[in-house]
Chains A and B, each alone.
Chain A
């Protein structure tokens, strides 16, 4: 599902990823661990097409990312994101936030997903009118709505307490059980209980 070959990345002159090569099979739950500054977020951004690597090749679902013509549609239909901060659009309500991400044929799933995540009654509220845990659940709902092949999450529980963290992990695990590949970068070691594969980084290299 994800094939990484010889990926390196520089910010300016500073190299932060060193010649990484690895593979993630379809349906796996990958945990990206490592200390702060080890390059987890950078690698996750590259894997999820949000950042172009300085060098190396990335294949997602069998396609070389740099050759994908309609990267926007590829992102929308095949990739779901959860960030540390919910990153919902403040001027759209919960329903509209999810609808913004949904492809046309998936718009009918929105209410079903909101219901599964227990936030259906919030759908007409705005992001600043709900709790942090609820916001993160909305962010997960937004990542799930298009039934993506891969979900990327960078510190998805970074701003949540352990009860809400567990909820988010279980939601991600549910998705994985349905066949979605899940990649999570986090400090939180609790997540190792859910992972099927673990990659630890140190100073931009795989340990």
Chain B
């Protein structure tokens, strides 16, 4: 196959195209996978143990929300409510680490954090996420100028959580000066959820009650991350694809002389275009494959990078992978076939002479 010979004999050119396509495709993959991963983790955290979430009314971010924890007593008495717990989510410097997440929670929610060593925290005690604990060998740590004893470590499948600390909600309340960030309520009957939402809403005028599903859907922060990551990945994608197309067209243009010779030897326009088509196809598919494997490897490595404290995570969806594959091939073909087609229409002798210039 003449296309493969051209690729293997012109190694440097082939390698440059390969490199530019690979880098472009990896950028697309990593940016969209990581931003998708961040949203995925946060929504999973909220959706895992709760059907209904109660936050302060009119607050854009749970960080600023303050809900009265005393509501829990009344909520627990509502029909079909199986359990409820309250949480404070905050962030603060911890020891030498500039910022880490702090989860203050009621005792009945501690079991959500699987202990890998030690015991659950009593007053003035904390347990550390496994990622964070690697950075502390001490018995106690300073959080916002207060000292806490370390009573144990926990693991979680949610990357966010492994990079933080868990403490009693009362301690977190003193740190962050509030009663609770939000209350999560579980029900044993899915049909009763709408009814429960209504009943809780009626309890207080300053609260907002939503199913966790709707909450995640409407949460502003997600929309911001989603929109900005869409813009960023779109730009990366567009730049990557334009790069692919322009590299391809530069390379094809530099081969005009060769096309002119082939035309002089009686090779048809179709023959030339067919060969460029195969060269491009082979290069873009191989580069894409390498980019895919490398991206998956990077995504698999990311949770293990201590510096990131588990905050970054991500996975690739099959539909994204296919979409990127299709666009890569289309752009590479556009970039190479358009100049090849134009060249094939030019008088052969002009191609040959352009080639020598």
Query: CB within 8 Å of B: which residues of A?
Result: 45, 48, 50-52, 72-77, 79, 81, 83, 85, 87, 89-92, 96, 100-101, 126, 142
What are 25 inter-chain pairs, A to B, with CB distance below 8 A?
A50-B263, A50-B347, A51-B349, A51-B350, A52-B347, A72-B269, A75-B263, A75-B264, A75-B266, A81-B264, A83-B352, A87-B261, A87-B352, A89-B258, A89-B262, A90-B9, A91-B5, A91-B6, A91-B10, A92-B5, A92-B9, A100-B2, A100-B262, A101-B265, A126-B9
Q: Find A142's partner among B265, B268, B347 (CB 8 Å cutoff).
A: B265
**Smallest distance from the beta carbon of B10 to chain A beta carbons, Å?**
6
B257 part of interface (Cβ distance < 8 Å): yes
B274 part of interface (Cβ distance < 8 Å): no
Residue of B nearest to A88 (CB): B261
Residue of B nearest to A87 (CB): B261
**Residues on A with beta carbons closer than 8 Å to the beta carbon of B262:** 89, 100
**Cα distance, A167 to B183, chains bound together (Å):** 96
**A91 and B347 in contact (CB under 8 A), knowing A73-B266, A101-B265?**
no
Query: CB within 8 Å of A: which residues of B?
Result: 2, 5-6, 8-10, 257-258, 260-269, 347-350, 352, 356
Q: Is the CB of B261 within 8 A of A50?
A: no
Q: Is the CB of B347 within 8 A of A72?
A: no
**Smallest distance from the beta carbon of A73 to chain B beta carbons, Å?**
6
Q: Is the CB of B265 within 8 A of A45?
A: no
- Count of CB-CB pairs between chains A and B under 8 Å: 61
Prevailing SS type, chain B contact patch: helix
**Cα distance, A81 to B266, chains bound together (Å):** 10
**Cα distance, A72 to B262, chains bound together (Å):** 10
Residue of A nearest to B266 (CB): A76
Q: Is the CB of A75 within 8 A of B265?
A: yes
Q: Find B265's partner among A74, A81, A85 (CB 8 Å cutoff).
A: A81
Q: Find A72's partner among B260, B268, B356 (CB 8 Å cutoff).
A: B268
**Smallest distance from the beta carbon of B141 to chain A beta carbons, Å?**
64
**Cα distance, A151 to B257, chains bound together (Å):** 20
Q: Find A85's partner among B10, B348, B356 (CB 8 Å cutoff).
A: B356
**Residues on B with beta carbons closer than 8 Å to the beta carbon of A100:** 2, 262, 265, 267
**Residues on B with beta carbons closer than 8 Å to the beta carbon of A73:** 266
**Cα distance, A57 to B268, chains bound together (Å):** 23
Q: Is the CB of B348 within 8 A of A77?
A: no
Q: Is the CB of A50 within 8 A of B349?
A: yes
**Residues on A with beta carbons closer than 8 Å to the beta carbon of B269:** 72
**Cα distance, A90 to B258, chains bound together (Å):** 9
**Cα distance, A76 to B356, chains bound together (Å):** 23
**Residues on A with beta carbons closer than 8 Å to the beta carbon of B2:** 92, 100
**Cα distance, A119 to B101, chains bound together (Å):** 77
**Residues on B with beta carbons closer than 8 Å to the beta carbon of A77:** 266
**Cα distance, A51 to B266, chains bound together (Å):** 14
Most chain A CB within a 10 A radius of its CB, from B8, B261, B268: B261
Residue of B nearest to A77 (CB): B266
**A50 and B264 in contact (CB under 8 A), knowing A45-B349, A91-B5, A100-B2?**
yes
**Smallest distance from the beta carbon of B277 to chain A beta carbons, Å?**
17
**Cα distance, A178 to B242, chains bound together (Å):** 55
Q: Is the CB of A101 within 8 A of B266?
A: yes
Residue of A nearest to B270 (CB): A72
**Residues on A with beta carbons closer than 8 Å to the beta carbon of B349:** 45, 50-51
Q: Is the CB of B348 within 8 A of A50?
A: yes
**Smallest distance from the beta carbon of B173 to chain A beta carbons, Å?**
73
**Smallest distance from the beta carbon of B112 to chain A beta carbons, Å?**
62
